[in-house]
Amino acid sequence: MSGADKDRRPAGELESGVLAVLWAADAPLTPGQVQQALGASLARTTVTTILTRLHDKGTVVRARAGRGYAYAPAQDAPGLTARRMHSELAKDEDRGAVLARFVSQLSDEDEQLLRALLDEGPAGDRP
């Protein structure tokens, strides 16, 4: 393994870091502002590429800011996790088997929480 490969971050780590910065911000951020928040070790072009990929995935939204864009998360962290869970569920034809396996692997506390949420009805029915 070369030195450059050894120093490379795991897949998804940069995206997670960028999203954490955007979630912590009070307003949309430019790639330069995200780069500053992450630390100067990343090139602005790298940050721009990550933001563009996140935009293409629908994870962030963007608006014109001068000659470039300012980015904001499309949803909060729990919303993104739920979206990822739905995406994974949609990949398998036997949704019942996937859900049964998922539920069978829940901790007792998570199972009780899920039961309580299901008993409350659809999210739109909650205050």
* pLDDT tens digits, one per residue of 33-73: 999 999 868 889 999 999 999 999 999 999 999 999 999 99
The pTM (predicted TM-score) of the whole model is 0.70
Categorise residue 67: left if φ over 0, alpha if ψ from -120 to 50, beta otherwise.
Answer: alpha
For 94, list phi and psi in degrees, rounded to 5: -100, 75
Report d(CA 126, CA 12) in Å as an integer: 33
Tokens of 86: 């739905």
Question: Where does residue 65 rank: exposed (0-12), middle (13-18), buried (19+ CB within 10 A)?
Answer: middle
Average pLDDT, the chain: 87
Question: What pLDDT score does 53 carry?
Answer: 95
Owner of token pair 């072009």? 45
- Confidence at residue 25, expressed as pLDDT on a 0 to 100 scale: 95
Number of residues that make up the chain: 127
